[in-house]
Amino acid sequence: MEIFDDLEAEYDRLDGIFATLSDEQWARPSAAEGWSNIDVLLHLAQSEETVAATVKGDVTRERGAMTVDEAMDFWVRAERAGPEVVYPRWQAARRISVQVLRTADPAKASPWASAPLRPATMATTRLAEHWAHALDITGPLDIPYPDTDRLRHIARLGHRTLPYAFQLAGEEPVPIRAELTGPEGTSWQFGPEDAADVISGPLGAFCRVGAQRLKPEDSGLTTSGPHAATALRLLRNYAA
């Protein structure tokens, strides 16, 4: 499926960037609060290992009463190491996770943070997380990380999970349409054509707002209808 190819392409692009970083760059603070750049990569490695184990039905990490964010931070702190350990760990984990997702039963959902996910949706979450955390690393280091049309997968994920986002906020979900333009000029539309509420603008900005890497008011996205601004504020590409 297309998502698996695009996920692997994003991994390859990141691998090319990671291969150029020095120990000093890895040790610098990332844009993810409390984590260095190598901490971010460790988190991604741990997540990829969890994906593979979960889809295969193996025993995975248990977070107990911790929130998702608390558990992620706990596991990073417990396994911190240098780039000579973490980088090859991530390389191995990302290869295995893609292989497992490609060969898994496409109709079978596996347990994940907030709800069971099928392999294609799981792959989309991996793309969303790697892209967002890549911004956390490349931004502070002033490394170019241009948007690609692969972001359409992330935008679709964010749009599809808007009902979940409304429910988390204790609000009634409403139909929302997104009309987005990719970096190559391609148009992407999600949601009913007759929706009264519309979000429009750059694909990358929509994804950044959903990843909480950009405030809605700074995004350049426009909203029309009584609920579109609320939808943009609640937009998320990740589970609570």
Q: In this predicted structure, what is the pLDDT of residue 59?
A: 63
| Token pair belonging to 40 | 């971010």
The domain spans of the chain are: 2-141, 153-234
Q: In this predicted structure, what is the pLDDT of residue 114?
A: 74
pLDDT digits (tens, 9 = 90+) for 66-76: 888 898 999 99
What's phi and psi for 132, nearest 5 deg?
-65, -45
Q: pTM of this prediction?
A: 0.94
* Helices marked H in the chain: 2-18, 23-27, 37-56, 68-78, 83-103, 119-138, 151-160, 162-168, 203-210, 228-234
Q: Order of strands, edge to edge, in the sheet holding 222-224?
A: 187-190, 176-181, 197-202, 222-224
Q: In this predicted structure, what is the pLDDT of residue 240?
A: 57
Neighbours of 57 (CB within 10 A): 10
Q: What is the DSSP letter of 174?
A: -
Yes or no: say if 166 and 192 are a contact pair by the CB < 8 Å rule.
Answer: no
| Token pair belonging to 220 | 């350049």
Per-residue pLDDT of the chain (240 residues; tens, 9 = 90+): 799 999 999 999 999 999 999 999 999 999 999 999 999 999 999 999 999 999 998 866 677 678 888 989 999 999 999 999 999 999 999 999 999 999 999 999 998 877 889 999 999 999 999 999 999 999 999 999 999 999 999 999 999 999 999 998 999 999 999 999 999 999 999 999 999 999 999 999 999 999 999 999 999 999 999 999 999 999 998 765
Domain over 2-141 is classified CATH 3.40.30.10: no
The β-bridge partners of 188 are: 180
Q: What is the DSSP letter of 72?
A: H
Name the CATH architecture for the domain at 153-234: 2-Layer Sandwich (3.30)
